[in-house]
Amino acid sequence: MKNRGLAVFLIGVLLFSVAISGCIGGGEKTETQTTTPQYAGKIAVVYDVGGRGDLSFNDMAYLGASKAAKEFNLELKEVQSNTESDYLPNLRSLAQTGEYNLIIAVGFMMTDAVTQVADEFPDQKFAIVDGFIPDKPNVVSILFKENEGSALIGALAGLIAANDGKDKVGAVLGIEIPVLYKFEGGYRFGIKWAEEYYKQKTGNDVKIDLLYTYTGSFTDPAKGKTAAQAQLGQGAWVIYQIAGAVGLGVFDAVDEYLKSQGKEMGPPFAVGVDSAQDWIKPGVIIASMMKRVDVGVYKAVEMAIKGNWQGGIMELGLNEQGVGVSTIDAVKEMFNSLPEDTKQQKLKELGLASEDELFAKLEETRKQVPDWIWQAVAELEEKIKSGEIKVPMATTKDQIEAIREAKTWQEMEDLAKQWESS
Amino acid sequence: MKANIKGFFKPLVESLIAIIIGMLIGAIILAFSGYSPTEAYVALFDGALGSKYGWAMTLSAATPIILTALTFGLGARTGLFNIGAEGTVYFGAIAAIIFTNILGNVLIGLLGGIIAGLVWMSIPAFLKVFRGVNEVVSTIMLNWMAYFIALYIVLQKIPNPDDPNKTIAVPVSARFPIVIRGTELSWAFVISVAAALIAYYILWHTTLGYELRVSGYNERAARYGGINPKKAVIWSFLLGGIMSGLAGATEVMGRPPSYAISQGMANIYGYGFDGIGVSLVGRNHPIGIIFSGIFFGMLKAGATAMQIEAGVPLEMVRMVQGIIVVTVAIPGLLDLLKRGVRK
């Protein structure tokens, strides 16, 4: 009895090892195809718990890092974090090897961990996206002026609503953290700017209210859907999502609302965030506020490789193309960075035959909004770029409250100047 | 004596065989997915055990799960299926933060964890003994209640004003010192090993432990022998509460860099559930739990190395580890079921 069990077990082991040795051979074969023998260095990207596949923040970081790796002939290592307690070990294990020209931490949640590891390895260069670590020579903090990009979205949303005789727009946000105040404040600024622009253009007074919901999550699409449904019910005409994966629920809610009205295209519209998300639901998403994490990451790698490294803050606004409203070209670039089978599957889900059809539909979506509105948005963009108009950047509860109470965009601009001088 | 050795070696051999089988299955999956199993496993063991840093990572990862495993293990020895460690960990961590912010001292923090664990675990104990509520049902529900109550406290009562993403931190004076600089191994590990040794001592060298175990084997026999099984059940819950309360406390007091609870309780979530696996692999024996906790810690520490050195993506790493854990837990699970059926 006992011996038979042992024999069966040994035969099992034998079979396993035969199977494996065959597979190992196969594994090596694929490896020789993919590895490039020559490289000038190594970079590493550590993702936060959100990770790759979010179609926004983390994927954008990968886009920038992989582009830089290709251009500068670098080996790119990606590390995913399972839980929050992985940040420190992941960063440390990479830094310990001393092999990496730059280690990029994606997400402000890694701020504490990067601060600590940067002290432990003063010769190792780090970059952190969205984190604020101002005074370490070996860390560059990549920050964005989300307020500037969001102001353009506010102008777009406000004018669409005003043009259709509506008086409400919406925003669905994630967890209440300082970064989101930058979005909310900028959005409010743009809406107020739209009110005045519309009055000057048509002579009609409009007042547009903002319905906003902090869902308390970045990962639960159901919460985004409920929040968006409530806002649509109250008459929100454009809903800006600033909530990561929660925003996917916002898109669903607007999509279903349109279908229930027998419409294939908005208004009402949704607005995407971080990456050019327009392709996720053509007809529903009018545009996206792009936060070019890819640009920031690329710049940081370039700096580390080319020897003009400078620690501290790297802040990217409209002028640096760090933020902006998505264009059809930007959507194409984002869509084309997806793996081929994902692209095909997405097209199938959307019921479209080809990429061209997708982009044609996106063009048509944009045509639902009159040209003068797009021009107005471009006008505001130019004014912000030239410094003629200053968009407030709220990063604390007090500051966002002050913006919420302001009646006009000029009042908000005064706040911006006040904060800047202090 | 002879029976004792056999009782020790049989589970050990079974576990080793289970580990080998699990690793073989994992290797096949890795190979079919185009990764080299040898490279992956070398990275796993090298990362977890190949250096002082690796060992430190392994032991620090083992710290909380040894404690939560003791909660389940003590319950199982008394014939209970206590899966309430998860919720208790949250309150242990919260209590430690609040207590140490009032008085910045390690002992005060540990006391906070103990008190929170006792209070929270007394609820299922009470329900079981006086109302006959099955502990599986009550602890599952209590875990969810704990989650939302703790979330409320974390977000509304003790948030960090400078960084709303997490709670206020444990003051420096109440943090466990790091044993090896540049690692996460703090003296909290000693607490968890000591807790396991104490649990062992109680179970096998005190009258109370005898009563706990006899009630677990056969409630009626226990009553016949003059033991009050109700008392045993209450003690089992309370001791278990202390263990997982300590797990929460040591986690916030002993793990850099933040020494706080982050939003959604991301850094303390899941230890209670991991503890069930650890306890099953350790055959619900405190000494076995120390070793199986270190084994789980090794898998955790090795995950980083598997990603960095062997280039295996995290999802694949977790799948392979999951398979190993399941195969290793099977003998313990069968043991538990067999005993349940016999009763």
3-state per-residue secondary structure call for B67-83:
HHHHHHHHHHHCCCCCC
Q: Which amino acid is at B169?
A: A
Residues in CB range of B315: below 8 A, 6 or more apart = A80
Q: Which residues of B touch A27 (CB under 8 A)?
A: 30-31, 34-37
Identify the H or E element spanning A202. Answer: helix A178-202
Contact A243, A172 (CB under 8 A): yes
B37: closest chain A residue by CA: A24
A89–B255 C-beta distance less than 8 A: no
Contact A57, A50 (CB under 8 A): yes
Contact A61, A108 (CB under 8 A): no
Coil/strand/helix, residue B225: coil
- B307 or A18: whose pLDDT is higher? B307
The stretch A231-258 carries a mean pLDDT of 94
Q: What's the pLDDT tens digit per position in A201-238?
A: 999 999 999 999 998 887 788 999 999 999 999 999 99
A118: closest chain B residue by CA: B182
Tokens of A310: 């400078």
Q: Which amino acid is at B125?
A: A
pLDDT at residue A6 in the model: 52
Q: Which residues of chain B have pLDDT under 70?
A: 1-7, 164, 340-343
pLDDT at residue A25 in the model: 40
Which residue out of B172, B175, B263, B312 would a mutagenesis test of the A interface target, given it has the greatest number of A Cβ atoms within 10 Å?
B263
B36–A28 C-beta distance less than 8 A: yes
A16: closest chain B residue by CA: B24
Q: Where are the beta strands (DSSP E) in A33-162?
A: 41-46, 74-79, 102-106, 126-129, 139-144
Across A100-104, A252-256, A348-352, B103-107, least confident range: A348-352
B308–A83 C-beta distance less than 8 A: no
For residue B295, the distance in angstroms to the closest alpha carbon of chain A comes to 18
Q: Residue A38: how many CB atoms within 10 A of its CB?
A: 6
pLDDT at residue A24 in the model: 43
Whole-angstrom Cα distance, residue A223 to residue A234? 17
A219: closest chain B residue by CA: B264
Dihedral sign computed on CA atoms, order A152, A157, A161, A164: positive
Indicate the residue of B47, B257, B307 with minimum beta-carbon distance to A80. B307
Tell me, yes or no, if B24 comes closer than 8 A to chain A by beta carbon: yes
B256–A24 C-beta distance less than 8 A: no
pLDDT at residue A3 in the model: 53
Coil/strand/helix, residue B269: coil
Q: Which amino acid is at B310?
A: A
Tell me, yes or no, if B20 comes closer than 8 A to chain A by beta carbon: yes
Contact B228, B62 (CB under 8 A): no
Surface-to-core class of residue A380, CB atoms within 10 Å of its CB (0-12 exposed, 13-18 middle, 19+ buried): buried
B267–A93 C-beta distance less than 8 A: no
Radius of gyration of chain A (CA): 24
pLDDT above 70 coverage of chain A, percent = 90
Q: Which residues of B touch A49 (CB under 8 A)?
A: 266
Residues in CB range of B4: below 8 A, 6 or more apart = none
Indicate the residue of A13, A24, A81 with minimum beta-carbon distance to B37. A24
B53–A96 C-beta distance less than 8 A: yes
Whole-angstrom Cα distance, residue B100 to residue A409? 46
- Give the pLDDT band of residue A5 (cuts 50, 70, 90): low
Strands A269-274 and A312-316: unpaired
Indicate the residue of B35, B263, B266 with minimum beta-carbon distance to A83. B266
Contact A110, A87 (CB under 8 A): yes
Tell me, yes or no, if B160 comes closer than 8 A to chain A by beta carbon: no
For residue A395, the distance in angstroms to the closest alpha carbon of chain B comes to 11
A20–B164 C-beta distance less than 8 A: no
A109–B165 C-beta distance less than 8 A: yes
Average pLDDT over chain A, rounded to whole? 88
For residue A212, the distance in angstroms to the closest alpha carbon of chain B comes to 19
Surface-to-core class of residue A18, CB atoms within 10 Å of its CB (0-12 exposed, 13-18 middle, 19+ buried): exposed
A83–B31 C-beta distance less than 8 A: no
Indicate the residue of A82, A109, A120 with minimum beta-carbon distance to B318. A82
Whole-angstrom Cα distance, residue B308 to residue B314? 10
ipTM entry? 0.83
pLDDT at residue B342 in the model: 54
pLDDT at residue B104 in the model: 92
Identify the H or E element spanning A413. Answer: helix A409-421
B37–A20 C-beta distance less than 8 A: yes
Which residue out of B14, B19, B36 would a mutagenesis test of the A interface target, given it has the greatest number of A Cβ atoms within 10 Å?
B36
Q: Which residues of B touch A216 (CB under 8 A)?
A: 155
The stretch A64-86 carries a mean pLDDT of 90
Dihedral sign computed on CA atoms, order A324, A359, A174, A140: negative
- At residue A78, φ and ψ (nearest 5 deg) are -110, 135
Buried b / exposed e along A162-175 (16+ C-beta atoms within 10 A): bbeebebbbbbbbb
For residue A303, the distance in angstroms to the closest alpha carbon of chain B comes to 24
DSSP 8-state class, residue B178: B
Which residue out of A36, A43, A84 would a mutagenesis test of the B interface target, given it has the greatest number of B Cβ atoms within 10 Å?
A84
A94–B28 C-beta distance less than 8 A: no
A46: closest chain B residue by CA: B308
For residue B22, the distance in angstroms to the closest alpha carbon of chain A comes to 11
Residues in CB range of B334: below 8 A, 6 or more apart = none
Contact B283, B79 (CB under 8 A): no
Across A34-38, A90-94, A177-181, B173-177, least confident range: A34-38
Conformation bin of residue B133: beta by default, left when phi > 0, alpha when psi is -120 to 50 = beta
Indicate the residue of B264, B301, B308 with minimum beta-carbon distance to A94. B308
Helix extents (H) in chain B: 2-32, 37-49, 52-77, 85-102, 106-131, 135-152, 188-205, 207-217, 219-224, 229-254, 271-281, 286-310, 314-342
The residue written with tokens 């809406």 in the block is A191
Which residue out of B21, B147, B314, B323 would a mutagenesis test of the A interface target, given it has the greatest number of A Cβ atoms within 10 Å?
B314
Torsion of CA B285, B291, B295, B297, to 10 degrees: 100
CA-wise closest residue to A187 among A158, A162, A229: A158
pLDDT at residue B279 in the model: 94
pLDDT at residue B6 in the model: 60
Tokens of A210: 């903002």
pLDDT at residue A30 in the model: 40
pLDDT at residue B340 in the model: 65
